């Protein structure tokens, strides 16, 4: 693992996010544009990137790797859900904010940031492994996540789970398991379209952060120790727990890095939709995202 390459990639991602922040401030990426670009990333470029990770032969893993990631994902949620409750209690989070803090603990930005970071650390094929975990993420976020954000009043519908990212993840899994050959021209097309995902996703995060008044960003003091717990202590704990079951260092590394990602950007979307303190959600996404540019390289040094 080349630390200089990882640090360089984190700087690149930070600069992309900074560019998005600038574009948001200057009006190049207003709310309407960002909404359309977000849909494009979610529905077109991310599925293309996921499919490209297996169509180009980068995912050169044994078939058991897919099932190992699924099992590790299940264990991750079994461990992290009660840990989220414990963290909220130990930090004495006010009851009105407890569900939001639990959401931020359980659900990390394993897509927007997870994919480019893993690509930098482990190569293109690691995106496929992350996409398998994100299948579980989608199921958990749109069931448990909605319940947390809505105070149990939000309704879960199976139709919510039918989205392009989940469909492309299932398709990639099928291609991988059955060694389906994809024409090179199609693989190259998917790779080209998918390559814009990282810059667009990071610019979107930056543009969304530009909507928060600077004077309000740093006022939630509790977010600083929370970020250290979420992005340093929890990943190290997960590595110890998953190390009992996982013997493949690559899969263990991928799962550890995914658990170190900042709070999921959908936290803000859900907070707005279900009336659960969108200001705090935006602060949480911002602080944990900025902290990740330090904590991820540090964690990689430990790994």
Can you give the CATH number for the domain in which 151 is found? Answer: 1.20.1530.20
- Give the pLDDT of residue 161: 66
- Give the pLDDT of residue 127: 85
| Two structure tokens written together for 168 | 């492309």
Lowest mean per-residue pLDDT among 30-39, 43-52, 59-68: 59-68
Place of tokens 């996010």: 17
- Give the pLDDT of residue 14: 85
- Give the pLDDT of residue 186: 94
Q: Which residue has the higher pLDDT, 3 or 20?
A: 20
- Give the pLDDT of residue 175: 87
Helix, strand and coil percent figures for the chain, each rounded to 5: 80, 0, 20
User: Is 49 a residue whose pLDDT tops 80?
Assistant: yes
Q: Three-state DSSP class for 72? A: helix
Question: Structure pTM?
Answer: 0.83
**Per-residue buried b or exposed e for 53-64, using 16+ beta carbons within 10 Å of the residue's own CB:** bbbbebbebeee
Share of the chain above pLDDT 70, in %: 94
- Integer-rounded Cα Rg, in Å, for the chain is 18
User: Is 156 a residue whose pLDDT tops 60?
Assistant: no
Using pLDDT thresholds of 50, 70 and 90, give the confidence band for residue 211: confident
Q: Which residue has the higher pLDDT, 285 or 273?
A: 285
- Beta-bridge mates of residue 263: 108
Share of the chain above pLDDT 90, in %: 33
pLDDT digits (tens, 9 = 90+) for 268-284: 777 877 777 778 888 88
CA distance 38 to 227: 25
- Give the pLDDT of residue 84: 95
E strand spans, the chain: none
Q: Which residues contact 277 (CB under 8 A, 6 or more apart)?
A: 96, 97, 100, 271
Which domain, by its residues, includes 214?
3-302
Q: What's the structural domain count of the chain?
A: 1
User: Is 153 a residue whose pLDDT tops 70?
Assistant: no
- Give the pLDDT of residue 10: 81
The mean predicted confidence, pLDDT, of the chain is 86
Instruction: Enter the DSSP assignment of 155.
Output: P
- Give the pLDDT of residue 154: 54
Task: Name the residue among 272, 193, 197, 200 with its Cα closest to residue 23.
Answer: 200
CA distance 123 to 59: 9
- Give the pLDDT of residue 185: 94
Q: Which residue has the higher pLDDT, 152 or 148?
A: 148
- Give the pLDDT of residue 58: 59
pLDDT digits (tens, 9 = 90+) for 242-254: 999 898 998 999 9
Q: Which residues contact 86 (CB under 8 A, 6 or more apart)?
A: none
């Amino acid at each position: 693992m080349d630390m200089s390459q990882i640090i360089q990639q984190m700087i690149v991602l930070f600069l992309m996010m900074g560019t998005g922040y600038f574009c948001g401030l200057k009006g190049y990426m207003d709310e309407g544009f960002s909404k359309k670009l977000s849909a494009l990333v979610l529905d077109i470029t991310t599925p293309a990137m996921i499919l490209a990770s297996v169509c180009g032969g980068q995912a050169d893993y044994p078939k058991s790797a897919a099932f190992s990631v699924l099992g590790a994902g299940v264990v991750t949620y079994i461990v992290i859900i009660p840990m989220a409750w414990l963290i909220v209690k130990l930090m004495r989070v006010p009851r009105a904010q407890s569900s939001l803090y639990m959401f931020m603990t359980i659900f990390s930005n394993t897509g927007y940031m997870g994919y480019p970071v893993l690509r930098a650390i482990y190569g293109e094929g690691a995106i496929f492994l992350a996409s398998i975990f994100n299948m579980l993420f989608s199921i958990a976020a749109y069931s448990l996540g909605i319940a947390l954000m809505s105070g149990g009043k939000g309704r879960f519908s199976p139709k919510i789970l039918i989205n392009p990212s989940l469909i492309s993840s299932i398709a990639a899994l099928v291609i991988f398991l059955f060694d389906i050959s994809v024409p090179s021209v199609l693989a190259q097309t998917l790779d080209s379209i998918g390559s814009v995902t990282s810059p667009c996703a990071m610019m979107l995060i930056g543009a969304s952060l530009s909507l928060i008044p600077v004077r309000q960003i740093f006022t939630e003091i509790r977010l600083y120790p929370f970020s250290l717990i979420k992005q340093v202590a929890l990943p190290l704990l997960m590595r110890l727990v998953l190390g009992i079951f996982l013997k493949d260092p690559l899969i263990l590394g991928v799962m550890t890095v995914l658990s170190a990602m900042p709070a999921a950007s959908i936290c803000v979307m859900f907070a707005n939709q279900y009336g659960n303190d969108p200001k705090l959600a935006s602060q949480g996404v911002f602080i944990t995202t900025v902290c990740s540019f330090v904590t991820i390289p540090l964690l990689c040094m430990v790994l």
